[in-house]
Amino acid sequence: MKTLISPSILASDFAKLGDEVRAIDEAGADMVHLDIMDGHFVPNLTVGPDVVKALRPYSAKTFDVHLMIMPNPGIVASFAEAGADIISVHPEADPNIHRSLQNIRSLGKKSGVAINPGTPLEALEPLYELADLILVMSVNPGFGGQKFIPASLGRIRSIRERIDQLGLDTIIEVDGGINDETAPSVIEAGAHALVAGTAVFRSPHGSYRKAIDNLRLSGSA
């Protein structure tokens, strides 16, 4: 499977978000990753459905929306209506995650489960059949620019093995500390998609296209 690159706009220039989304689209990104934080589940505050809706005309690529909030049917529907294509929710924040995943699919969107570094993988067991994507957090969520947690590799391998056992085609996406150095081991462990914020928007390569190409090449090495 081709390695998918999903630049996180959390690391972009918020004064020109539309232009930044268009730029990563034109630079070859496969998806646009949008981190939604409410200042409660994680110690940061970002954007809501209205911003997602405003950004939608700037790219036809998949909008990969990561809800770091306590979701409810109304807010999930708002993001779906705003143009999200994939909506990922956290078991740590959602006591009704089974219903939330069903709701996401009923809205015609792909469902994702995001899991924090300190959460036992057993939390995923009741959810595999309802998830189109598993988002493995390789840092503690809430801020960009953090260092990759090496223990994440074992977690990715375990999730990959379980997905294969179940005969599913679930995408494994990894978010946190992804760069040219960490991407190869993450892909080797079984991931399909890489979320990269700092590695794209603040890349030393000089352009978004070079940054995205480098990540994809390093992830395929």
Catalytic amino acids? 35, 175
Q: Which residues of 8-32 are buried (b: 16+ CB within 10 A; e: fewer)?
A: bbbbbeeeebeebbbbbbebebbbb
On whether 175 is known to bind a ligand per the annotation, the reply is yes
On whether 182 is known to bind a ligand per the annotation, the reply is no
Q: Are the CB atoms for 4 and 195 separated by under 8 Å?
A: no
On whether 35 is known to bind a ligand per the annotation, the reply is yes
Instruction: Using alpha carbons, list the distances in angstroms from residue 32 to 27, 36, 166.
Output: 12, 13, 29
In this structure, which amino acid lies at residue 87? I
Q: How many CA atoms lie within 13 A of 128 on its CB side?
A: 16
Question: Which of 112, 175, 173, 171 has its CA nearest to residue 138?
Answer: 175
On whether 33 is known to bind a ligand per the annotation, the reply is yes
On whether 143 is known to bind a ligand per the annotation, the reply is yes
On whether 40 is known to bind a ligand per the annotation, the reply is no
On whether 18 is known to bind a ligand per the annotation, the reply is no
On whether 177 is known to bind a ligand per the annotation, the reply is yes
On whether 88 is known to bind a ligand per the annotation, the reply is no
On whether 176 is known to bind a ligand per the annotation, the reply is yes
Q: Where are the beta strands (DSSP E) in 122-186?
A: 133-137, 171-175
Q: Which helix (H) or strand (E) holds 60?
A: none
* Residues tagged in the binding site annotation: 8, 33, 35, 66, 142-145, 175-177, 197-198
Binding-site annotation: residue ranges for substrate: 8, 66, 142-145, 175-177, 197-198
| Residues of each annotated binding site for a divalent metal cation | 33, 35, 66, 175
